[in-house]
Amino acid sequence: MPQAQDLWIDTPLGALYACRWQPASAAQAQAPIVLFHDSLGCVALWRDFPARLCAATGRAVLAYDRLGFGRSAPRGDALALDFVPAEAAQVLPLLRAACGVPRFVAMGHSVGGGMAAHAAAQAGPACVALVTESAQCFVEPRTLAGIRAAEAAFADPAEMQRLARHHAERAPWVLQAWTRTWLSPAFADYSLEPALAAVRCPTLVLHGEEDEYATPRQPGRIAASVAGPAELALLPGCRHVPHREQPEVVLARIAAFLRALP
């Protein structure tokens, strides 16, 4: 299994923690996969998926903690309403420059899927493919109901302790950054469609049929809205985290999708 290499990247926005997994063959020159984590996520919470993804695809994999999350620099401000496109516009170029990533595959889970879509839209030909997993294209009642249920669950101190294992003292900020942003009436008009219309690279849309934060309308809209070719994979019996719930299926679909791409 590929081993992780820790990276610390100084940026004008604060220090970023990242991890890179390299394929066994040094001859591989394919575009690496850049992973964007979900609203409560970080590098550590991808668990063994990046290493397995590297092995399955033969591509390098690069994951990082967004500012305020995991081991990256803390922040105490509220997320701006444009935080999804801003991640692709402001942070990703710094990461790519520091890590020497001229071309890449963008992959994101949940809100990270939205960031990956913006990355694909903004990078043009430099992004050779897009993979979204459990991404939200718009805010729907099921999204808000799922977030409210999760927020209530975090009233249990044990749940906050679990979150703090990965985010330490910033765990309350991480939770509030998710819940207060998405539940705000000001965020109700969020839409990924303008970015998707600018995505011309091949796109794979992965989504669990039983996702507690989205109906199948969400992945359907993503697949229908991209300008390039798209594959839609609805996974039966799967909820919001396919890479953890059905890893073999997810890895096989991604490997097959990327096989013919540079």
Report how many helices (DSSP H) and strands (DSSP E) the chain contains, helices first. 11, 8
Q: Is 111 left (phi over 0), alpha (psi -120 to 50) or beta?
A: alpha
For residue 84, the model assigns a pLDDT of 98
- Closest to 65 measured CA to CA, from 39, 97, 33, 96: 39
- Mean pLDDT over 70-94 rounds to 96
DSSP state of 246: S
Q: What is the pLDDT of residues 99-132, one digit of tens each?
A: 999 999 999 999 999 999 999 999 999 999 999 9
Query: How many angstroms separate the CA atoms of 241 and 141, rounded?
Result: 19
Whole-prediction pTM value?
0.97
Query: How many angstroms separate the CA atoms of 168 and 44, rounded?
Result: 13
138 has which bridge partners? 191
Q: Please give the share of the chain, as a percent, with pLDDT higher than 70.
A: 99
The CB density around residue 15, as the number of other CB atoms within 10 Å, is: 14
For residue 26, the model assigns a pLDDT of 53
- Mean pLDDT over 215-221 rounds to 97
CA distances (Å), origin 253, targets 48, 131, 179, 211, 246 = 17, 10, 31, 18, 11
For residue 151, the model assigns a pLDDT of 96
Query: How many angstroms separate the CA atoms of 147 and 115, rounded?
Result: 19
Q: What is the pLDDT of residues 134-158, one digit of tens each?
A: 999 999 999 999 999 999 999 999 9
Residue 74 belongs to domain with CATH number: 3.40.50.1820
- Closest to 73 measured CA to CA, from 17, 19, 18, 111: 17
Query: How many angstroms separate the CA atoms of 204 and 252, rounded?
Result: 12
Is 251:56 a contact under the CB 8 Å cutoff? yes
Determine how β-strand 203-208 pairs with β-strand 16-21: unpaired
What residue has token string 């710094």?
94
Is 195:136 a contact under the CB 8 Å cutoff? no
Q: Structurally, how many domains does the chain consist of?
A: 1
For residue 170, the enclosing domain spans 4-258
Give phi and psi for 261, each to the nearest 5: -100, 155
- Mean pLDDT over 85-96 rounds to 98
| pLDDT bucket at 178, cuts 50 / 70 / 90 | very high
